[in-house]
Amino acid sequence: MRNQKSMELYDRACRLIPGGTQLLSRRPSKFAYGVSPVYAASASGARFVDIEGNEYIDWVSGIGAIILGYADPVVDEAVREQISKGTIYSINHELEVELAEELVAAIPCAEMVRYAKGGGDACAVAIRIARGTTGRDKVLFSGYHGWHDWFLAANLSAGESLDAHLFPGIDPTGVPKCLEGTAIPFPYGDAAALGELLDNHRGEVAAVIMEPLRSAWPPEGYLAEVRKLASEAGVVLIFDEVSTGFRFSPGGVQPVLGVEPDMAVFAKSISNGYAMGAVVGRREVMEPAARMFISSTYWSDTIGLRAALTTLREVRRRNVPEKLDQLGRTLQSRLSAVAQETGAPIRCEGVSVHPQLVFDIDDAAVKQKLSTLYIQEMAKRGCHGYTSFYLNAAQGDAEIEQTVAAARETFRIIADGLACGKIDDLLECELKEDVFRRLVT
Ligand SMILES: Cc1ncc(COP(=O)(O)O)c(C=O)c1O
């Protein structure tokens, strides 16, 4: 078995750690179980090495956290320098103000800033501020916003509210039942549905929080209409930019979309892999936070602050969004061409900085098998990923060439398997579970 040592380690983990991993997306069952890599030993640039010593191109980029590349020399040197001065103090550090100034200069809606240590953490801060500022309790959401009670409360009533936003079957066990009815989903792309919800809950909604996009552009005029509806209802509009991050522009995705929310949430790519999150927003909605209890020791840890400041400056200096756009376009056209050449019913589409494979197959069960087979065969050829790609700036020609060569063989296996009705025989692993399936794909 390619990953025997890892699977043994995972067995030990499952006996000690409920669920085996800290993040659902890192569970081996999310990939090709028994084939895909599970435990990393090291990473550098665009690649990592697992504990068995196999090297992989990483198309998941630390679940989006890596934007410049692993072990980026500039960010890591800045962090090392920071470590040598101590990382956290009994008093505050200038970096808090410096980073706030950088964020305010770069992000259109940003006038004031608070920090956190991750995406879910930052979303919870944003929701607290929106509730405190408006004096209202309910939240309308679209997309995925972390593990906290305010969000998971959505599944207390119907039990399926999160199906289209995360994945089906999320049990809200442990979330206080009294939160029922406080988090309400709305379908992405349908402004009329959001308008209706705002009407039905008039005067009760604190915030509309949404992923403004993920791997497809929003329908024409949709976000401007959302902006208008939120303003009319006196609701705080929050863009959750945790996953889009700074891949679209050094000011996040807002400058590209041309719509300004009241607040925005960032984490992951903000700091190239160091724990960090930020909530930014207009002065009017952020300032009341001074009177709310929103306070945590490690939010002023200087490693995250220094990593974020350096990462944001490097994203701008190296023109990273433009580089990722080019890389994504090349990947899309090369993979689509290989699919045509081999006769596999596959296209590579989506926004350029987040390409996605689309399987042109109607039967959902067969589609699931094909995506698992794709992950399995690509893993065997040294390419780790889902059927979508998180880009980072260390990926380049060598990664494209190796991935296209692996895809040519993989797509051929898929095309032949379909032609002979032998897909089941080709699967060496259990079927992968739904990765975080989202409304915003
Ligand atoms: C849009 C969005 N919001 C929030 C989160 C949660 O971030 P974290 O895992 O850092 O808590 C994620 C993570 O995938 C995300 O994609």
Q: Give the number of the atom of ligand 1 that is nearest the alpha carbon of residue 23.
A: 9
Task: Per residue of the chain (441 residues), give pLDDT as tens.
Answer: 788 999 999 999 999 999 999 999 999 998 999 999 999 999 999 999 999 999 999 999 999 999 999 999 999 999 999 999 999 999 999 999 999 999 999 999 999 999 999 999 999 999 999 999 999 999 999 999 999 999 999 999 877 888 888 888 888 999 999 999 999 999 999 999 999 999 999 999 999 999 999 789 999 999 999 999 999 999 999 999 999 999 999 999 999 999 999 999 999 999 999 999 999 999 999 999 999 999 999 999 999 999 999 999 999 999 999 999 999 999 999 999 999 999 999 999 999 999 999 999 999 999 999 999 999 999 999 999 999 999 999 999 999 999 999 999 999 999 999 999 999 999 998 776 655 555 443
- The residue whose CA is least distant from atom 8 of ligand 1 is 119
Q: Give the number of the atom of ligand 1 that is nearest the alpha carbon of residue 244.
A: 1
CA 26 / ligand 1 centre spacing (Å): 13
CA 243 / ligand 1 centre spacing (Å): 7
The values of phi and psi at residue 358, to 5°, are -115, 125
The CATH number of the structural domain formed by 4-68+319-426 is 3.90.1150.10
Pocket probe for ligand 1: among 144, 210, 240, 279, the residue whose CB has the most ligand atoms within 8 Å is: 144
Write down the pLDDT at residue 441.
Answer: 38
- pTM score over 0.85: yes
Write down the pLDDT at residue 214.
Answer: 79
Q: Give the number of the atom of ligand 1 that is nearest the alpha carbon of residue 211.
A: 1
CA 120 / ligand 1 centre spacing (Å): 5
Pocket probe for ligand 1: among 268, 388, 438, the residue whose CB has the most ligand atoms within 8 Å is: 268
CA 244 / ligand 1 centre spacing (Å): 10
Query: How far apart are the C-alpha atoms of 287 and 35, rounded to whole Å?
Result: 51
Q: Output the six-digit token pair for 117.
A: 């240590």
CA 146 / ligand 1 centre spacing (Å): 5
Q: Give the number of the atom of ligand 1 that is nearest the alpha carbon of residue 268.
A: 10
CA 118 / ligand 1 centre spacing (Å): 7
Write down the pLDDT at residue 439.
Answer: 46
Contact 433, 28 (CB under 8 A): no
Domain 73-317 has CATH 3.40.640.10: yes
Pocket probe for ligand 1: among 61, 145, 147, the residue whose CB has the most ligand atoms within 8 Å is: 145
Q: Which of 381, 377, 382, 383 is CA-nearest to residue 427?
A: 377
Measured from CB, residues less than 6 Å from any atom of ligand 1 are: 118-120, 123, 143-146, 211, 240, 242-243, 267
CA 435 / ligand 1 centre spacing (Å): 13
Report H helices in 58-190.
73-84, 95-106, 119-134, 149-152
Residue spans per domain, the chain: 4-68+319-426, 73-317
Q: Give the number of the atom of ligand 1 that is nearest the alpha carbon of residue 240.
A: 1
The one-letter amino acid at 248: F
Strands (E), 105-202: 112-116, 138-142, 183-185
